[in-house]
A and B are shown apart, each in its own frame.
Chain A
Amino acid sequence: MWQYILRRSVYMIFTVWIISIITFAVIQLPPGDYVTTMVSQMIQSGMDDLPPDFEAQIRAQYGLDQPMYVQYAKWLRNIVVKGEFGYSYIYRRDARTIILERLPVSFAISSFSILFVWIVALPIGIYSAVKQYSKADYFFTFVGFIGLAIPNFLFALILLFLSYRYGNRAMIGLFSQEYETAPWNLAKFLDLVKHLWIPVIIIGTAGTAGLIRTMRANLLDELNKPYVDTARSKGLSEGTLLWKYPVRHALNPFVSTIGWILPSLIAGELIVSIVLNLPTTGPVVYNALLDQDMYVAAGIILILSTLTVLGTFISDLLLAVLDPRIRLQ
């Protein structure tokens, strides 16, 4: 077991390292950098008497004149050693404070979405399998297909329109106006919860639909196995029979799916936040990418990716605890 954990950890760190390289390289892709944008803006606003070496000076000040691998090494060292993500050119603040402001809300939405997916998918999946081909089963299968087919952001758009048309209020943002700038207290938290369910449902629907189908298929496989007949012939009540063996066995995908649900949840959270204008990392990373605010964009992408890999790692470990066969491979 320990060997397994060790192997997975080494592997996880390696993945995060690769992601950090990809992230940094991708952020550098656009031609020019922030200084080019800044200088052209200054010239446009009438400051044409800039000293000839002004651009180079600024670049040296921010360390942008060094080769890329040096910039990368510095960036990574600061993150690992000091926990600093660099400087935001746009906000003129430490990138870390900007990221830390937004990250908890992103994290909350993603976590609640996973909870939502589980809480909804588990009973429906079991019910659909036990009452296979019943009306409810067909209904859930149909709803599941629709849920899978509607992309998150279109779902958000449609809900936005419906809420505006019939609720006389657009469901954007996560706080009511009076709480937007208020300090954190219980009332603000309750207000947040009141708004949170909309993005959670939008983000969670696709995952829920997928998990219902997996759960149903797995449980159906289990229910047809001979041991179920044996238990039934020995007089075990249907309830005990169902919960004690097949459901337990079919639960494995619930844990293993964290691995593939998490990236899609985080991506979903990103795009839905942009559409609904939620105060999460989504809009920040979107604007940072457009404005070449590279350290903010790189920092957020790296953190989101690391969280995803970490989630997958935890689900792998849980799975190994639950199912000894995986450990031994």
Chain B
Amino acid sequence: MDVTIRENTTDYDSPLGGSLPAADTEDELRLEVATQWQLMWWKFRKHKLAMFSGGVVILYYVVAIFAEFFAPWQRTQYIADYVYAPPQPIHLFHDGKPDLHVKGLKFERDPRSFKKIWEVDEESKIDVGFFVRGSEYKIGLHWLPIPYINDLYFTTDRHFFGPKDPTQPMYLMGADKSGRDVLSRLIYSTRISLSVGLVGVVISLILGIVLGGLSGLIGGWVDNVVQRIIEIVMSVPDLPIMLAIAASVPLDWSVVQVYFIITILIALRSWTGLARVVRSKFLSLREDDFILAARLDGAPQRRLIFRHMLPSFYSHIIASMTLSLPGMIIGETALSFLGLGLRPPAVSWGVMLQETQRVAVLALYPWLLWPAVAVIIIVLAFNFLGDGLRDAADPY
């Protein structure tokens, strides 16, 4: 149908196009029979920046899920000689012919300070390719603690890209203090940094919906108490308290324990906004005609809440969840950066940035700041995406 409309409007013999009015009603019909989610999708699609950001977010998550495949190296793999090796730029041509490669590195000792001085070895050429063989890894559900299901995996040694000879060094973003590849670690970090946000959102979602729902549905003194709690939580400057709690996590706790305590901590400061949205939605919906109609039809309270009220603001919840994700990612990064969050061997963007706390390190090895760039891009993307979702959340 769309095609015919376009043909008609470009037809110079009849500029108004005979079938246009018909198309209008057709379009209106399409709007009227569309579901709420379809309407939202159409509205969201118009927001170009949000669409693009959505793509960026999906890309990040794909990289996070298949980190082993995308990272040229393993998380802990290192070459001791290449401590703080500078980034090797990628070259597309060799002798005028397309040939993906990087140049090798060599170093000399400064005779006085014994500092390594890196130089590009113009003679050497390390071939780089896609889908190359490297270290072996498992892909699948092997990490689940459920028997039989965790047999569903396969082992491979293919990597998305890397040096054709896996023993050759390739540091596209330089090396860190142990000679590990910054790019590979950045890719592995994506997994933890993004999942902290997701788990945190789930926790704050449960808190927000339960407390906000109670507050809005029951009202009275429950509402009063919950509102006071929310106001107190909001007026407490969260960072000092978070630092205090994070500093008290015992040193002998396992990576998983620390991960969950940090995630809960981050979630605890962001549920209030969601609780307010849920409460005000319930309050206004309670008075709405369609709820009254359902109630008069004899629908029980549970059906009213889960069948009629909640679905009418799912979209708002999704939008405010998306907008609260960047804060959580920043929170984890900040805590880990200060050394109070996740600890090695866990690797997140904040953990990687820890080294840059020392000015000397920052000045000499600026490529250690790459994780900061990753944080800024994903935070921007979530903000734009959340904005687009919020605009689309109310399509009528």
Query: Is B22 at the interface (CB under 8 A from chain A)?
Result: no
Distance A149 CA – B372 CA, assembled complex (angstroms): 11
| Contact between A19 and B236, CB atoms less than 8 A apart | yes
Q: Are A308 and B236 in contact (CB under 8 A)?
A: yes
Instruction: Type the 1/0 row for A268-299, where 1 means its CB is closer than 8 Å to any CB of B.
Output: 00110011000000000110011000000100
Does A154 contact B366, Cβ atoms closer than 8 Å? no
Q: For residue B381, give the distance in angstroms from its CB to the closest CB of chain A.
A: 9
> A149-B380, A151-B334, A263-B237 in contact; A26/B369 too (CB < 8 A)?
no
Number of B residues, CB within 8 Å of A: 38
In whole angstroms, how far apart are the Cα atoms of A285 and B240 in the complex? 8
- Asked if B240 contacts A164 (CB within 8 A), the reply is no
Given that A145-B384, A149-B326, A270-B239 are known contacts, is A23 also in contact with B244, CB under 8 Å in the complex? Answer: yes
**B243: which A residues are within 8 A, CB to CB?**
270, 285-286, 289
Mark A302-313 against chain B: 1 for CB-CB distance below 8 A, else 0. 001100110010
B237 contacts which chain A residues (CB < 8 A)? 262-263, 266-267, 304-305, 308
Q: What is the CA–CA distance of A157 and B333 in the complex, to the nearest angstrom?
A: 13
B235 beta carbon closer than 8 Å to chain A? yes
- Interface of chain A residues 166 through 183 with chain B (CB within 8 A): 170, 172
Chain B residues whose C-beta falls within 8 Å of the C-beta of A260 in the assembled complex: 234
Chain A contacts for B236, CB-based, 8 A:
19, 22, 263, 305, 308
CA distance A304 to B239 in the complex (A): 11
Distance in angstroms from A220 CB to nearest chain B CB is: 15
- Least distance between B386 CB and chain A CB atoms (Å): 11
Within the complex, what minimum Cβ distance (angstroms) separates B229 from chain A? 9
Interface contact tally, CB-CB below 8 A: 114
User: Is the CB of B204 closer than 8 A to any CB of chain A?
Assistant: no
A145 contacts B240, CB within 8 Å? no
- Is A31 at the interface (CB under 8 A from chain B)? yes
A18 CB–B CB distance under 8 Å: yes
B250 touches A (CB below 8 Å): yes
The complex places the Cα of A275 from the Cα of B356 at a distance, in Å, of 10
Complex: A236 Cα to B16 Cα, angstroms: 42
Once the chains are docked, how many angstroms separate the CA of A312 from the CA of B236?
A: 11
Instruction: Determine whether B33 belongs to the interface, using a CB cutoff of 8 Å to chain A.
Output: no
Note all chain A residues with C-beta closer than 8 A to B240.
267, 270, 285, 300-301, 304-305
Interface status of B20 (Cβ within 8 A of chain A): no
Segment at the A interface, from B72-80, B146-154, B357-365: B357-365
Residues of A within 8 A of B338 (CB): 271, 274, 286
Complex formed: what's the CA distance from A23 to B380 in Å? 33
Contacts of A26 in B (CB 8 A): 241, 244-245, 248
In chain A, residues 247-268, which have Cβ atoms closer than 8 Å to a Cβ of chain B?
259-260, 262-263, 266-267
Q: For chain A residues 141-189, which have a beta carbon within 8 Å of chain B? A: 145-146, 148-151, 153-154, 157-158, 160-161, 164-165, 170, 172
Q: How far is the CA of A18 from the CA of B236 in the complex (A)?
A: 10
Against B, the Cβ 8 Å flags (1 = close, 0 = not) of A1-41 are 00000000000000100110011001101110000000000
Residue from the set A29, A151, A262, A285 with the largest chain B CB neighbour count within 10 Å: A151
Distance (Å) between the CB of B372 and the closest chain A CB? 5
Contact A154 B376 (CB under 8 A): yes
Given contacts A145-B380, A151-B375, A300-B240, contact A289 B357 (CB under 8 A): no
Contact B333 A151 (CB under 8 A): yes
Write out the residue numbers on chain B whose beta carbons fall within 8 Å of the beta carbon of A259. 235
Name the residue of chain A whose CB is nearest to the CB of B382. A149
A309 to B231, CA, bound (A): 10
Alpha-carbon separation in the docked complex, A143 to B190 (Å): 26
B353 adjacent to chain A (CB < 8 Å): yes
Residue of B nearest to A266 (CB): B237
- Any A CB within 8 A of the CB of B232: yes
Please tell me if the beta carbons of A290 and B239 are within 8 angstroms of each other in the complex. no
A18 CA to B233 CA, complexed, in Å: 10
B247 in contact (CB, < 8 A): yes
Residues of B233-273 at the interface with A, using a CB-CB cut-off of 8 Å, are 234-241, 243-245, 247-248, 250
Given contacts A151-B333, A260-B234, 8 further A-B contacts (CB under 8 A): A22-B236, A26-B248, A27-B244, A148-B383, A154-B376, A266-B239, A286-B338, A305-B236
A residues contacting B by CB (< 8 A) are 15, 18-19, 22-23, 26-27, 29-31, 145-146, 148-151, 153-154, 157-158, 160-161, 164-165, 170, 172, 259-260, 262-263, 266-267, 270-271, 274-275, 285-286, 289-290, 297, 300-301, 304-305, 308-309, 312
